[in-house]
Structure 1
Amino acid sequence: MSEALLDTTRVEAFGAQMGDVLNHGMLALMLSIGHQVGLFDTLAELPPTTSHELAGATGLNERYVREWLGAMTVARVVEYDAAGRTYWLPREHAVFLTRAGGPDNLAAATQFIALLAGVESRLVDCFRHGGGVQYEEFTEFHRLMAEDSGAVFDAALLDSILPLVPGLPERLEEGIEVADVGCGSGHAINLIAGAYRRSRCVGYDFSAEGIAAGRAEAAALGLTNADFVVRDVAELGEHERFDLVTAFDAIHDQAHPAHVLAGIAAALRPGGTFLMVDIQASSNLEENLDNPFATFLYGVSTMHCMTVSLSLGGDGLGTVWGEQKARQMLAEAGFSSVQVTNVEADAFNAYYIAQK
């Protein structure tokens, strides 16, 4: 293409956009480090402080802290007084950067960037030859998902999520059979079992590590009504056993999600409820252009959810399967009624209430 035909304004704008990509990509890694070592949490509690004072308060190496603060300052994350060489974290920023923010803490989510970068070379090979990256190659994924989902569960599961189903808290109080499919570390099941001791709760996951974590937490809490089973949920193998089945960000990861949904429908008693929590998005690409997390979601799909499914010879449904496809698959699985709603504490997900 001739240079004379180029829109130079558009060229310059896109060049600036690419510069932002480089800066923001590096910033994501620095935010992840700051979250992991507790720098944001400490900064939020301190008055304007020097790098030496911050290093002392956190027990970290001052030289690394100082360089990290440089990155945070030029990125306009923290503020800096040159005269006193002091730094502080605005309260408005702390909402999204500290553990006190609960589900709003997006600094925690930046850990996924480093995790996914670790399999980049494997993904390049998949682009060229097909196949997928196996779940076992994501060494920190279980821990990060437990941290991410745990913040939502602690903030909203009992008070906001379960009451989405009319009459459910009262039924749980009386005592019903509950299962969580793809339970991960089992924190949701343990919260439900702890709050509703008359209900019998079981979590299923193919990860032995996750099941062990769930059992350990249940034992620490003294729960006698929570059980955990290592099982591929594609082979759930239950018939009209449960009154409530939940799945938190688990269905789109499955190798054959339609088969899993059919198994869940079969496991529910007549009139039972399936509470499915999954990514809030459209099945139509053009309708996701204004989704503030769309780039992140398609990236996570490519580098984790889709590729893990494909590594198992699965359908590769992907993270952004969307509401339209979800409704279709739920209907095909045998759910006669599906309602979709949202929870204020969870910006990423839609909440599907499906009745058998």
Structure 2
Amino acid sequence: MTWTWRDSGLLAAGAVGRLVDAQRVKRWYFDRVASGNAGAGGGAAATLLAMARARSPLRDAAGAGGAGAPPAPVEVMKAEERKALLLQQLAGHLKGTTDTWMSIMVASWVLWIDATVMAMIYLGDQLGLYKQMASRGSTWTASRLAKAAGGLQARLVQEWLAQQAAAGLVDFDPKKGTFSLSSACVPLLAEPLSGSFFAPYATLMLACWKRIPTMMDAFRGQCLAPSYDEAGEDLADAMARLHVPEVKFNFIPKVLPLIQDGSLLQRLNSENLLCADVGASGADCTMEMALQFPKATFHAYEVADPALDRARENVKRRGLQNLKIIDAKIHPLGKAISSGQVKQRYDFVMCYDVLHDLAHPEQLIEEVREVLAPGGVWVIVDIASNGEMAENVRNHQKAATYYGISVCVCLPSGLSADGGRGLGTLGFPPEVAEPMFRGNGFSKIRSFQMPSLEKNQVYEVQI
């Protein structure tokens, strides 16, 4: 339940599929819990309905978009009200304010609905069905959509459309037998740079599910936990599509102006700086940086083979001359200078959502120190954490989701080598990170939460 409601911003996709400002939902929810009213009636449904019309925090941060989603039809409003009441009962059960058989049944039903809808969102995204519905005309029959999406099987498309209509993601006209993508769901499911794009979360969930059999063996001590590399193309794709809007709308315009009192941004715009993106995955974010700062040269370091394949294809497709892909298994960052792979030290190094995944983060910290030029700066973006597990469980609004992702992706990566630290998704707060930096030769350290995207912690580190 927590994935779609508390964290993803798609409130009750199984009922109505309307976009919600996740931060406001969570603040409302925890305020209710704190006051002992998590399971109460009253105006909760109206509160949630108002949130459903809010814009995405990411889109707001970029200054994009105007008014919120248009008012929903009456039948959709009623569906929202019903689902909001179900969610109230579920919230009460999860936080112990009610303990009834009905609450358990509600929780089970909502979880099943949400899991089913996530699977169908994955299909619609990967088969290009949402993109087709948003780009060509307003109404579709199953046969026409199947043909437009590349000659798919019309009967299967019809059943998928029926599910989407039942979920409220697609509007259905029974008189004409036609379907159209809900206007509120276009930025959610069909616009990768809308700032509200939700579809990659379905891909991330698939990557998590695929790792379950191997993780069961790791739980039993029959093998080391699987590495990040073993997550395959799904994880690389999901991370790329989630991170690129963050880099485009937040990191470049909101974070870089704060680094070195703005001097880094000035130099990126005017000088041929040598920059490294370490743990670059498919280099999608590095490519965004290279496009934004054409005078600078970027090196994207990665170890996962599926991500490296994606990165090389990205560079080939875009024809970028200022971006080079480096296989860090063959040419580790720490040996970049001594091996002759790099002729000079790096003026700027960035790591985006990387360090908490590493089995030996201290090793990377040492390597960055070795290759950072005098006056250079290392910027790390990682997942914001409240520190101790007790604080995260009690107060972190994404703890349930992040600990789940950690079990499937981040923690296994951190345990995939002998002696791995196993930090986990929420394991790199300032009280852990800063002593690591200082203990490995960095003396100037500043940390702050990413403006307008508080899920990320930013570290500005210099020798």
Question: 1:103 Cα shift?
Answer: 4.2
Q: For each residue in 1:240-268, what CA deviation from the matched residue of structure 2 results, as whole angstroms up to 9, or x when unmatched?
A: 92221100111111111133223323432
Question: 1:348 Cα shift?
Answer: 4.7
Letter in 1 for 2:240: A
Contact 1:102 1:152 (C-alpha < 8 Å) held by counterparts: no
Q: For each residue in 1:269-323, what CA deviation from the matched residue of structure 2 results, as whole angstroms up to 9, or x when unmatched?
A: 3432111111233223434556554333222210111112212221111112253
In 2, Cα distance between equivalents of 1:71 and 1:179: 45
In 1, Cα distance between equivalents of 2:352 and 2:319: 24
In 1, Cα distance between equivalents of 2:322 and 2:193: 31
Question: 1:187 Cα shift?
Answer: 3.2
Pick one of 7, 11, 14 that aligns with 2:104: 14
Q: For each residue in 1:123-156, what CA deviation from the matched residue of structure 2 results, as whole angstroms up to 9, or x when unmatched?
A: 1122222631234432223333334334444555
In 2, Cα distance between equivalents of 1:7 and 1:185: 45
- Are residues 1:205 and 2:302 paired? yes
Q: Give the match's secondary structure for 1:96.
A: helix
Tell me the TM-score normalized by structure 1.
Answer: 0.85
Contact 1:338 1:352 (C-alpha < 8 Å) held by counterparts: yes
**Which aligned pairs between 1:1-356 and structure 2 lie closer than 5 A?**
10-45=100-135, 46-59=137-150, 60-129=152-221, 131-140=224-233, 141-155=235-249, 158-165=252-259, 166-172=262-268, 173-211=270-308, 213-218=310-315, 221-232=318-329, 236-237=334-335, 241-285=345-389, 286-287=391-392, 293-313=398-418, 314-324=420-430, 325-333=432-440, 334-344=442-452, 348-356=455-463
Question: What is the match of residue 82 of structure 2?
Answer: none
Unmatched tracts of structure 2, length 5 or more: 1-95, 338-343
Question: 1:17 Cα shift?
Answer: 1.0
Question: What is the match of residue 3 of structure 1?
Answer: none
Letter in 1 for 2:327: V
Question: 1:19 Cα shift?
Answer: 1.4
Question: 1:101 Cα shift?
Answer: 4.3
Contact 2:228 2:304 (C-alpha < 8 Å) held by counterparts: no
Unmatched tracts of structure 1, length 5 or more: 1-5
Contact 2:125 2:199 (C-alpha < 8 Å) held by counterparts: yes
Structure 1 window deviating more from structure 2 (286-295 vs 25-34): it is 286-295
Percent of residue pairs bearing the same amino acid type: 24
Q: 1:196 to 1:57 in 2, by over 3 A?
A: closer
In 1, Cα distance between equivalents of 2:346 and 2:293: 15
Question: What is the match of residue 72 of structure 2?
Answer: none
Structure 1 window deviating more from structure 2 (119-128 vs 6-15): it is 6-15
Count of matched residue pairs: 350
Contact 2:445 2:459 (C-alpha < 8 Å) held by counterparts: no
RMSD over aligned Cα atoms: 3.0
In 2, Cα distance between equivalents of 1:210 and 1:326: 26
